Chains A and B, each alone.
Chain A
């Protein structure tokens, strides 16, 4: 069955960087793009963008350019989200989800989420 398993929680200081992984199994990795979605504590869902797992081409939503980088390691069927120059407002749960019907419609199942906490 399809599974997306994300890396564990992270506690980082402001200004540091973090890299979140999303390991896919149960389907052909290159067939579906990978979306990233952010959810701040007690808040709603924000679509961050997606990466084409066939070409490696990323697309970033407004507000997620510059410090946010999507990448892949197709040899291990894994997508990554790296955030640099972390700020307190980056504290959130980050989800990965593949786009099946279309690239930017995140389909079930999503990854379990990775909590990134930015604090001194």
Chain B
């Protein structure tokens, strides 16, 4: 029973264009969401988060959108850069632990 889903295992985007990574969740009680970036053989690094009282949060090139009625969130990266190539995980705060999706591998090509 996967409570946080990332249905696109991979995404390929040209440098300078927008990258949109999607995430769906099933539990309407989740009220805090996070995005992490992960390079191979390294630990994930925190990117950006959003509380359920908001529908948008921005930090530089990264913007997270939350649609509570659809139980959907997305991460927008504008403009995409080659260094953004990594695996991106979304996570939901389930009271006392984080539940992660399966990740989306983003490749940014020149």
- Physical interaction between A and B: no
Chain B positions near chain A (C-beta within 8 angstroms): none
Chain A positions near chain B (C-beta within 8 angstroms): none
